[in-house]
Chain A
Amino acid sequence: MTDAPLLTTDDLAVHFPIRGGLMGRPKGWVRAVDGVTLNVRAGETLALVGESGCGKTTTGMAVMGMTRSTGGQVVFDGEPVFDAKGDVPRRVRREMQLVFQDPFSALNPRMPIGESIGEPLRLVPGLTARDRRDRVAEVLERVGLSAAQADRMPNEFSGGQRQRIVIARAIAPEPRLIVCDEPVSALDVSVRSQILNLLMDLQAEFGLTYLFISHDLSVVRHISDRVAVMYLGRIVEQATTDALFDGPRHPYTEALMTAIPLPDPKAQRARQRIILEGDLPSPSNPPAGCRFSTRCPLAEDRCSLEDQHLATTAEAHEVACWKRA
């Protein structure tokens, strides 16, 4: 692992218009991502954690150039994800790949899996059809399937096998970074660990960098090097995995951690849970000041007046809370 970031987002914002205003003008904006700054170093796994609607998937999409940012920018290995013409450069498209949550909708049901896996190889210059076939066979074997299965259709595979196919497609063009968006949430528990092991093996073998998007803190703790916690479009805490799990600083991170029931009945009974009141506010109308202030057990008047930004507390531990900074 080196310290040079492979991917950076600088004050990234993605606001979606709410249509239906006068003369087709938007009547409001959903601030899905609202000022996110991330550095993903080559070879590391950075986890982006949060609950539904916090903007983690939109961040992943913006990183991939699959949704246009409305502010800030994304730079991959020194090159902006959108070039001057507004296109994603071929090199960036090849070197950044994506693994989706739902392996059932991530594969074209009418395309043999070998063809699906071969698609991104069209981005690699100088490959013949024969090279592509060889590469497809190679990655199929690498993810634990057999090359002979390349002509089969997706419906002939189970969920876990399909996720292996999606991973094979992602590694086929020899990417440097893979955005994994909830790669195991749709899988059965007994299959989940197979896929997590595969992702860890591939990272070690090819020096891959992962942006790992998940809501599952125990999975995140297991496989990531650093963690960024998102709430309502903002990052509220960022630290190394050990520092974050040993001593969460932001009250939201604390609540999130105690909310997960531990698979250990005695420890679970002994534990004090922080129960947050109420629901996640709407990202189209986020609370003033600190966005967590409406649910925060520590909130004071100042919290709803003053916006909170990430500040470094200990070494490489950043938190967006004046009470905990």
Chain B
Amino acid sequence: MALITAENISIGYGSRTIIKDLNFSVDTGDYLCIIGENGVGKTTLMKTMLGLMKPLSGRILLGEGLKNNMIGYLPQRTTVQKDFPASVWEIVLSGFQGRCGARPFYDRKEKLIAKDNIERMEISSLSKRSYMELSGGQQQRVLLARALCAAQEILLLDEPITGLDPRAASEMYGLISKLNKEGMTIIMISHDISESVKYASHVLHIGKNIFFGSKEKYFESDEGKVFLMKNKGGEDR
């Protein structure tokens, strides 16, 4: 059985359905890229996968012993965090909160893993710095390190490169791809299609028509071709 399976799910708010009858599955080690225009419901889909929202119909199945608190999530940055006094260390550690249960403090093992994840994100030198003083790219690395603390098998990333300059963005892609090669399953939302698809193994395209399949098939499909042409046109201009 796959790690995450979506069976005929429809999602939306109240009576408004945004996506209808969607089917897809993610296996261990996959790198799924969810693409589509703004407002088609990519974030809503991700929230549904996380169990933050209920699908209007259909269901999300978690397989291979995956539980909700084993999923790492990188949400879009919020306005509250802009002037939030918190050190990098405090934020990364808070990734363990879901596993703490009623235990009030973090144990030594968790602190070691947190330190390890900070090193993996190459931000050890920043660990005592305050989050709000960091650049956008550095902030994303902090949030990714926190997501890694929560994640054991799978990471869900919501627009991880939004607002980053090109260099920071390509570094971010490099980091995510490295994690994927180390065995982490990745599901990523992006509207920077050309760059993000480069590293992906599977593509879920949401729009008028829905496409789900491997990257190779995507490039052969109608949705893929349309998108590739559009993208090329954009680059030529």
**Is this pair of chains taken from one and the same complex?**
no
